[in-house]
Structure 1
Amino acid sequence: MDNDPLMARARRLWESLAGVPVSFAPSGGPVVVTAPASALAPPSWVGTVLLGDAALVTAPTEEVAHGVRRALRGLPAHALTEPGAVAGVLPVAEVLGPAALAYLAPAAFRPYEPPQTAVATLPAGHADLLRLLAAVSEEDAGECGLDEITSPAFVVREGAGVVAAAGYRDWPGEAAHLCVLTAPHARGRGLARAVASAATAHALAAGRLPQWRARPEASRRVARALGYRELGSQLSVLPGAAS
């Protein structure tokens, strides 16, 4: 992995988000640290980001970190973000994820501009974006993160309404976290790919590292079609009481 610039850049991003000085282990496996201010997971949770064969794991207290370190010692790297494997060695009350983490090198980008599909722009927070969010399930709205974008929104309209939109949120380390949403009745027509392509092109033109974090396979397929490469995964768990 030492000669993979994309992997190196992705790892630097998550090292900067850990909240304490830490690095992925060159030899692979987990590095567990106490980091109450970690951005790898919600407060009081344990966050794990696996990139390649190495993982960063942040815990809210040293006591929790000690237990996590001991519990994960025997797990292979690929199992560090598998909920069943983690719950088998550590008391777990709640789980978020796992989500795949994909990144894009500029040379790998495959733009998508389908004929007869016009992509327009709107400012972040525009009322038409809020209406699209209100038209989908609470789970879809939370998964996409479209209400948190800092870039312009790239949209496809049908009639007066927006049926697909994408943008990105500026993250530390010059990363651009992609957010994509399509109305349920308009899915399966390549609209997510079209708006995500426009948002990705905007991020690349700004010199940012496009990041695609997703759980649904349909979303992951869109990312792969645009040239994103899955480098790892993320899992957050709320530790439970020991039995």
Structure 2
Amino acid sequence: MIVREALGRLPVEAVVDGTLVREALPVARALGPAALSYVSPAGFRPVEAGALAVEQLSAAHPDLRSLEQVAGHEDAGEAALEEITSPAFVVREHGQVVAAAGYRAWPRRTAHVCVLTAPETRGRGLARVTGSAAVAHALAFGLLPQWRARPPASRRVAAALGFEELGSQLSIEIA
């Protein structure tokens, strides 16, 4: 009720503005704003792995935790691979997982896509390859893939796969 009253006085577009929301509510922590993008089966532009081998791992596989350590706390937290309910789709180099993607099944048949790439391997298309595999898997199960992104690079990967930005999200924790 407190949130509804405080934010109900703001214009709709302002509810994803962290500064304005902090002025209206006692915010302990905020994440975002982030662009929310979605793709349909018709709009999906899959990426061929080419010479890369995409492997499936369980969501609990320890090699995913190793990738999270290499990527760092902030990037790993943003990707949230520890929350996926799908298999993880990974690319390895020299035996190490350097990119991974999967999704968490959410209510109403939504698949929240999670992607993480090791910092030293970014810019080589690995997020597109692993993300494409995760999206194809979600679509095969009749799910609606959702891509939540703040960094411009992540937004570009989503767009390359055919995702369309349809909204924004700001997550907050009240003090």
Cα distance in 1 for partners of 2:28, 2:83 equals 28
SS at structure 2 position matched to 1:173: helix
Partner of 1:233: 168
Match of 1:195 among 130, 138, 141: 130
Q: Considering only CA atoms, is the larger Rg found in Structure 1 or Structure 2?
A: 1
Partner of 1:217: 152
Written as runs of structure 1 = structure 2, the 5 A alignment for 1:137-152 is 137-152=72-87
The letter for the 1-side match of 2:6 is V
- Report the TM-score, using the length of structure 2 for normalisation: 0.91
The letter for the 2-side match of 1:187 is R
Cα distance in 2 for partners of 1:89, 1:128 equals 42
Q: Deviations over 1:102-152 (max 9, x none)?
A: 111110000011422221211221121121112121011111111121111
Note the C-alpha offset of 1:192.
Answer: 0.4
Q: Does 1:133 align with 2:68?
A: yes
Partner of 2:90: 155
Cα distance in 1 for partners of 2:13, 2:168 equals 9
Partner of 1:205: 140
Cα distance in 2 for partners of 1:104, 1:236 equals 22
What are structure 2's unaligned runs of at least 5 residues?
none
Match of 1:167 among 99, 102, 105: 102
Alignment identity in percent? 60
Cα distance in 1 for partners of 2:54, 2:4 equals 51
- Report the TM-score, using the length of structure 1 for normalisation: 0.67
Cα distance in 2 for partners of 1:141, 1:84 equals 25
Which protein, 1 or 2, shows the higher relative CO under an 8 Å CA cutoff with sep ≥ 6? 2
Aligned residues: 175
Q: Does 1:115 align with 2:53?
A: no
Bigger shift: residues 88-97 or 182-191: 88-97
What are structure 1's unaligned runs of at least 5 residues?
1-61
